[in-house]
């Protein structure tokens, strides 16, 4: 990729990221969404995060195949418990990285 390619790509990513952050704020500061839509949208963050996580824990990527014995999954269990106990974002990231690193050395 050339320099121009990067600028164009990141500008495109920036635009599609900014618009969903910007439009609702601009137009909904006075209006209210229907309750069913609020209830549905409320579940979206949990759904997205889980959908992003699950394949990285339960599958091999090349070729795509189910695998319940991956290091990623083994480390995820204590990391999950750590997150529930501490509720610390920075702490959980560091804890997961440390465990994954140590587990990688041990295997």
Partner 1 sequence: MPACRSTVAAGEKFSFQQTVIMEKKRILGQGAAAAWPICLGYFPVGLALGVLADQTGIPFWAVGLMSVLVFAGSAQFIAVAMLAAGASAWSIVATTFVVNLRHVLMSSALAVFLPGLRRRFLSLFAYGITDESFAVNMARFRKGRWDWWSALVVNHLSNLAWIVSTMAGSLAGQFIPQGALGIDYALTGMFICLLVYQLRGRIYVLTGVVAAIIATAWYLLVPGNSYIVVASAAAATVGFGAGRLARRKR
Shorter beta-carbon distance to partner 1: residue 65 or 69: 65
Asked if residues 82 and 73 have their Cβ atoms less than 8 Å apart, the reply is no
Q: Which of 11, 34, 69, 106 binds partner 1 (CB under 8 A)?
A: 11
Residue 4 in the binding site for partner 1 (CB under 8 A): no
Q: Give the CA distances from residue 102 to residues 56, 60, 67, 98, in Å, rounded to whole numbers and listed in that order.
A: 19, 21, 21, 6
Site string for partner 1, 74-103 (x = CB under 8 A): -xx--xx--xx--xxxx-xxxxxxxxxxx-
Q: Is 41 in the site for partner 1 (CB under 8 A)?
A: yes
Q: How many residues in the shown chain lie near partner 1 by CB under 8 A?
A: 76
103 contacts: CB under 8 Å, gap ≥ 6: 71, 74, 75
Q: Is 68 in the site for partner 1 (CB under 8 A)?
A: no
Q: CB–CB of 68/48 below 8 Å?
A: no
Per the CB < 8 A criterion, the answer to whether 27 and 20 are in contact is no
Confirm or reject binding of residue 67 to partner 1 (CB under 8 A). no
43 counts as binding partner 1 under rule CB under 8 A: yes
């Amino acid at each position: 990729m050339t320099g121009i390619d990067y600028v164009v790509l990141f500008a495109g990513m920036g635009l599609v990221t900014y618009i969903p952050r910007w439009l609702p704020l601009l137009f909904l500061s006075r209006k209210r969404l229907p309750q069913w839509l609020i209830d549905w949208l409320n579940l979206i963050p949990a759904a997205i995060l889980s959908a992003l996580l699950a394949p990285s824990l339960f599958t091999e990527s090349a070729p795509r195949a189910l695998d319940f014995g991956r290091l990623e999954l083994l480390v995820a269990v204590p990391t999950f418990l750590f997150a529930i106990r501490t509720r610390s974002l920075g702490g959980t990231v560091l804890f997961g990285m440390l465990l994954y690193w140590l587990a990688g050395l041990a295997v």
